[in-house]
């Protein structure tokens, strides 16, 4: 039996991992999950794993709240110890977190094959820690599962065709998750006990380039305040961002709610008129649920959404934000195009892992 160790460190990675875990069980692949603890979350309880049908981690490293270097170093040490004990056939990593890089490094140095899901993504912004993590992880991986043609082409431009690696376009496992959990969200979510707008815009702000820049944050809030005068804007907001708004005396006129669970986010995405975000994952989820998206960044890894007129990049420019909102008020788009694999990404990846 094939044995895979999966490295995760943040809630979105658990959701992604759940899609492949289901397929591993169907194919008879043994999997053990290592949770680094990178994003500490008090809500990551047994109930969370049961509701999401996610296998509980075999190992908990509980490493969080440190600098990038300290966190990555301790993860590397902890993961290496587990790999030496477990001796798996492969190590599976997702996306672009410090946990991803630490897992890939630990495995590569022990000559254990590295499997990278969400390979080939590039923002071309080297100031983003995620960009550094994803580039380095790709370079030391053996199997590169790419969500899009753009991701495949990025790797080809970087010379990966001349390296002893497998490049496989399988689609995006987040679309698998969105499809699988949509029906469950209808039953589990209580989000509309907290908000009762018949129509609203859903927004999220969490990237440091926005939250840690007073000018960027003021501009974004100013633009959202203007939009809120036409249609209610709802933001699930992290306590840290809420505190920054208070410290800077920035006054939102829109509705702030506590951070939303995955099921709650699905319901908000399904019900909103438009999405405004600086999150990579939420940009795609907007598409999965048939919603236009305005992205509060200068670059995106998901260029196909921009190329198909479904997403507009505005950075922190309040005027561009308002213009994009006006444009999307009357825009009609085809959300049935196949950009991310139509929910078969995890199945394709698991079958390839079984073969390799």
Tokens 């994952």: give the residue.
Answer: 281
DSSP state of 162: G
**What's the order of all strands across the beta sheet hosting 233-236?**
255-257, 233-236, 201-204, 274-277, 293-295, 311-313
Scanning the structure block, which residue is given the tokens 């919603």?
291
Q: Give the number of other Cβ atoms within 10 Å of residue 333's Cβ.
A: 14
Q: What is the DSSP letter of 160?
A: G
Between CA 154 and CA 253 the distance in angstroms is: 41
Q: In what order do the strands lie in the sheet with 59-60?
A: 59-60, 30-35, 3-8, 90-94, 114-117, 143-146, 166-169
**Residues belonging to the active site:** 206
Q: Are 120 and 146 contacting, i.e. CB atoms less than 8 angstroms apart?
A: yes
Using CA atoms, how far apart are residues 205 and 203, in angstroms rounded to an integer?
7
Q: Extract the tokens encoding 130.
A: 């995620």
Interatomic CA distance for residues 307 and 311, integer angstroms: 8
């Amino acid at each position: 039996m094939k044995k895979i160790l999966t490295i995760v460190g943040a809630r979105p990675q658990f959701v992604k991992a759940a899609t492949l875990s289901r397929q591993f069980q169907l194919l008879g692949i043994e999997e053990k999950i290592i949770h680094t603890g990178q994003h500490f979350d008090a809500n990551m309880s047994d109930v969370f794993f049961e509701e999401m049908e996610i296998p509980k981690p075999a190992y908990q490293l509980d490493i969080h709240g440190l600098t990038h270097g300290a966190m990555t170093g301790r993860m590397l040490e902890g993961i290496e110890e587990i790999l030496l004990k477990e001796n798996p056939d492969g190590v599976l990593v997702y996306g672009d977190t410090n946990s991803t890089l630490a897992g890939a490094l630990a495995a590569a140095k022990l000559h254990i094959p590295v499997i990278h899901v969400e390979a080939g993504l590039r923002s071309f912004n080297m100031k983003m820690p995620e960009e550094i993590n994803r580039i380095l992880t790709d370079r030391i991986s053996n199997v590169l599962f790419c969500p899009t043609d753009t991701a495949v082409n990025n790797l080809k431009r970087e010379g990966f065709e001349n390296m002893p690696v497998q490049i496989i376009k399988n689609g995006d496992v987040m679309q698998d998750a969105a499809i699988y959990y949509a029906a469950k969200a209808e039953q589990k979510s209580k989000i509309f006990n907290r908000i009762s707008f018949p129509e609203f815009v859903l927004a999220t702000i969490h990237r440091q380039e926005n939250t840690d820049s007073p000018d960027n944050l003021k501009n974004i809030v100013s633009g959202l305040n203007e939009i809120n005068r036409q249609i209610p804007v709802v933001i699930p907001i992290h306590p840290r961002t809420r505190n920054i708004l208070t410290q800077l005396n920035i006054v939102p006129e829109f509705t702030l709610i506590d951070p939303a669970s995955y099921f709650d986010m699905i319901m908000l995405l399904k019900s909103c008129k438009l999405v405004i975000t600086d999150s990579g994952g939420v940009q795609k989820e907007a598409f999965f649920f048939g919603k236009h998206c305005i992205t509060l960044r200068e670059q995106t890894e998901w260029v196909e959404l921009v190329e198909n007129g479904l997403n507009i990049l505005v950075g922190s420019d309040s005027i561009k934000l308002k213009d994009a909102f006006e444009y999307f008020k009357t825009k009609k788009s085809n959300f049935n195009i196949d950009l991310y694999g139509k929910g078969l990404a995890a199945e394709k990846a698991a079958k390839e892992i079984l073969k390799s």
